[in-house]
Amino acid sequence: MSKVLITGVAGFIGFHLANKLIDEGYEVIGIDNINDYYDVNLKLARLKELDITSTDFQENKEYSGKITFVKLDLQDLEGMKSLFKKYEFSYVVNLAAQAGVRYSLINPHSYVDNNITGFLNVLECCRAYPVKHLVFASSSSVYGLSEQVPFQEDNSTDHPLAMYAASKKANEMMAHSYAHLYDIPSTGLRFFTVYGPWGRPDMALYIFTKAITEDKEFDIYNDGDMSRDFTYVDDIVESIKRLIPLAPQRDNPKFNVQVPKPSKSSAPYQIFNIGNNSPVALMDFVHAIEKALKKKGKKVFKPIQPGDVTSTYANVESLFNYIDFKPETSIEDGIDKFVEFYLKYHGINE
């Protein structure tokens, strides 16, 4: 069995990916620092679904279940090197990060520590203990001020609007330099508004659902005039699963040094959008939640917030051609599945 390291395995996408790769026959080793950026109990519940049961995880200690879990922070370089040395990973999927656009306005240093220093340590470990493929999470937020929609991987990403986006742009550049210098095959994925069961409490779907079920007001920014390329989590992990064994090669014939494109390189490096290719108006999204809950929400309309963009829309043709898969879950089906999860998790009777 090929060994795969998933960083951020107690997180939303990491948890779902672990389940998918287990089903595919991979040996999964997952790490997470289980920080308190959002409710730790949700992270522990995800781990429990993977048969990793504890209420007091110890640093660098291994726990066995459906996966091998180690509580470990990416900033712990020696701990990371020990892990890489022991397991000799074939593949690494780096999903651990400090998330959240708005939180980056409050605590920008966290994004440097976790997303830049932490990712540098992942790259250093892949350098010291070579892997067949490093897949790492970037974000649609790197497109920043660009209004050239649908976003294509070769669009400009030089104008990020918040430290979160800037840190993800930095990750792409760091990965390219290591791919060039040390032949680390690397693929960056620009995620577009992932949603679904077990999602984070700071995400719009969770916030809106919670407010509606509790009969409380919730904010709608830019007076509702926004759209997002909402992408269901099962489609995301299916894409990652297909991508893992397809490492980029050096000297890509599609890379022209005279007219270089950001998404390709002469190094073993590539960037893909990973989205639904079908943006949904924010108010349609809210109405779908109301329909699933059979209840109207108390909406409060407010101006756009610093760091927000009005629209995201992914061109996913490049990834679709590469892995022969395109996201296919409708927004109605995806929201219904999330609401079903939410009500069950919180013990709410419909």
Show which residues are catalytic: 164
SS3 (DSSP) at 330: coil
Instruction: Report the Cα–Cα distance between both ends of the chain, in Å, rounded.
Output: 43
227 in Cβ contact with 276 (< 8 Å): no
Q: What letter represents residue 311's amino acid?
A: S
Answer whether 171's CB lies under 8 Å from 119's CB.
yes
Cα–Cα distance measured from residue 210 to residue 196, given in angstroms and rounded to the nearest whole number: 14
Rounded Cα distance, 57 and 66, in Å: 17
| Helices 163-182 + 118-128 axis angle, to 10 | 10
Contact by Cβ (8 Å): 91, 136: no
Under 8 Å between Cβ of 57 and 63: yes
Contacts of 97 (CB under 8 A, 6+ apart): 8, 114, 115, 118, 119, 137, 167, 168
Amino acid present at 38: Y
Helices (H), 139-281: 163-182, 204-213, 233-243
Rounded Cα gap, residues 170 and 177, in angstroms: 11
- Sheet with strand 186-191: strands edge to edge: 62-64, 68-71, 27-32, 3-7, 91-94, 133-139, 186-191, 269-274
